[in-house]
Amino acid sequence: MKFSLFYEMQISHPTRRTEAQLFHDCVAQVELADALGYHCVWEVEHHGLYEYSHSSAPEVFLSFVAARTENIRLGHGITLTPYRYNHPIRIAERIATLDILSGGRVNWGSGKSSSLTEQLAFENDVSQLHAQWLEALDMIPRMWQEDVFEYKGTFFDVPAIQVLPKPVQQPHPPMFAACSKPESAVAVGQLGIGALNFAIGNDEYLAEKVANYRAAVEAANPAIYKKTNHFACTPVTLCLEDDRKACRYGMRGALFFAESLATYYFSGKRPTGPLQGITREFMRDEDLADAMAFRGAEDAPAMNIIGDPSHCREIVSRFEAAGVDEIICVMQVGTVPHELVMESIRTFGEQVIPHFSGETTMGRAAAR
């Protein structure tokens, strides 16, 4: 089981000053995670999702972090590949450059984007996004491997060009894609790339989803890139010595995360300015007590890893039993103060991660 950090760059009621401070805080958090042996820092690409995500230039953040860290991997989670956002040649060039400068530490995730705000801002033809993503996925690994790249597809007609530089990882950085629905996890598996799962569900549902992905990826035989068999989940996480304090801040943060996400992705609106109807205050004592008790319920979804180290280990073991390879902890959420994120990275790194080193249950089973 591997443990990583996930960054949306969230901030509640930002000002110019606090927004700038957020970026420096995130760098400090990743430096600490690197020192504690976390596996990877995954950074999103979003545009215009006020409060929910201020991470619009992940390639710049990850480059800065690369220079300040030694071992932690640098994950794009994910790069928006429709060409209105990023031309495939520019993606290949940037990823390869980061791979060289970081000493081969890049994980590359890709996707098509699903928020109306950014789809319309970049004047995308929404009906073509999926096809554009697939074509970029077909092009970029070729650019990394072929001395001279030439391509004729649905959206691109590229005459012979040398796409430079080439990445240092051979044959190229590991490839991943975002997924949430069961059928999209299978589709990602069929492509032969790693799955970054953003969905929730109970243990049985998650185990089935992982198993279906695993069957698909094992049968996949991608012709132009190296297969990545890897399933990651992204739970909101806050791990503190004080269980109640962790729940008080962590659950408020998880609500901010879920409700701001729902505002941009499920409301059908394209809000601007401060988000309305979002939880920014602490839960009432009786609700907090209910939520703390519900964590251990049999049918509680494997959704958040919040509590003291003992509770966190218990929830992590459920992800492990479902066959998950990597937990990408979402610790930096809009209403959790930087100091608590730092405390959580340290507590989780020292008291949870060491209990789960090695392969997953399914990985061991597959190896037998």
Partner 1 sequence: MRFTDGRIGVYPGLAPAATTMNESVFFDMLGGELSYARANMTGKIRHCGEGNMSMIVGALVGGFRQALTAEGPGARPLRAWGRLVIRNRPTVREGLS
Identify which of 74, 94, 1, 63 has the alpha carbon closest to the alpha carbon of residue 33.
Answer: 74
Tokens of 301: 């979804």
CB of 230 to partner 1, least distance (A): 20
Neighbours of 226 (CB within 10 A): 16
Q: Record the tokens describing residue 260, joined without a space.
A: 């701001």
Rounded CA separation 344/179 (Å): 27
Nearer to partner 1, 238 or 255 (CB): 255
Tell me which residue of 37, 41, 39 sits closest to 7, measured CA to CA. 41
Q: What is the DSSP letter of 282?
A: P
Between the alpha carbon of residue 162 and those of residues 92, 153, 157, 159, the distances in Å are 11, 18, 15, 10
- Comparing CB distances to partner 1, the nearer of 56 and 202 is 202
* Dist CA 134 CA 155 (whole Å): 11
Closer residue to partner 1 (CB): 90 or 130:
130
Exposed/middle/buried for residue 21 (C-beta within 10 Å: 0-12, 13-18, 19+) = middle
Minimum gap (Å) between residue 135 Cβ and partner 1: 26
Give 93 or 259: the residue with its C-beta nearer to partner 1: 259
Q: Where do contacts with partner 1 occur on this chain (CB under 8 A)?
A: 180-182, 199-202, 205-206, 209, 251, 254-255, 258-259, 262, 266-269, 277, 279, 283, 287, 290-291, 293-294, 297, 299-301, 304
Beta carbon of residue 337, minimum distance to partner 1 (angstroms, whole number): 20
Report residue 356 as tokens: 């789960």
CB of 49 to partner 1, least distance (A): 17
Which lies closer to partner 1 via its Cβ, residue 90 or residue 269?
Answer: 269
If the CB atoms of residues 120 and 293 are measured against partner 1, the closer one turns out to be 293
Closer residue to partner 1 in complex, CB, 115/169: 115
Shortest Cβ distance from residue 284 to partner 1 (Å)?
A: 10
The H helix count followed by the E strand count for the chain is: 12, 12
- Number of Cβ within 10 Å of residue 66's Cβ equals 21
Q: Shortest distance, CB of residue 196 to partner 1, whole angstroms?
A: 15
Give min distance, CB of 259 to partner 1, in A: 5
Q: How far apart are CA 92 and CA 140, in angstroms?
A: 6
